[in-house]
Amino acid sequence: METERSALAASLKEKFELDIPDGFSEQEIKLNLEKRLAYLLERNPEEFFQLLYRIDIPERQLQVALQEENALAVLADMVYHRQLDKVKTRLYYRGQSDGKTVDDELGW
């Protein structure tokens, strides 16, 4: 679980330039994500939409979320869970590779 949290924090820091101190709760992370999304939407809408596309938020879900009264909170929740799913998947497959990296397995 701690590995998931640190990997999630690293992922959010990389993609959203968020600094997430140890001990932050899920709600605090989502609140920081919401603030960052609001900033991006206001200052650079093109980057906002590109970022959501890159992290694989489906366009249809994005359109529905933007119609909500609390759209940024809904989007922050979606981003949080999508990034967490990615982290869990990476950790799962990293454990399946018996210590080999993808590069090792694909090496000629």
Q: Which parts of the chain sit beneath pLDDT 70?
A: 1-2, 96-108
- What does the pLDDT read at residue 25? 86
DSSP character for 107?
A: -
DSSP character for 70?
A: T
pTM of the model: 0.81
Q: Look at residues 14, 15, 33, 36 and name the one whose alpha carbon lies nearest to residue 24.
A: 33
Coil, strand or helix at 16: helix
Residues 75 and 31: their CA atoms lie apart, in Å, by 11
- What does the pLDDT read at residue 99? 55
- What does the pLDDT read at residue 32? 92
Residue linked to tokens 């596309």: 53
- What does the pLDDT read at residue 50? 94
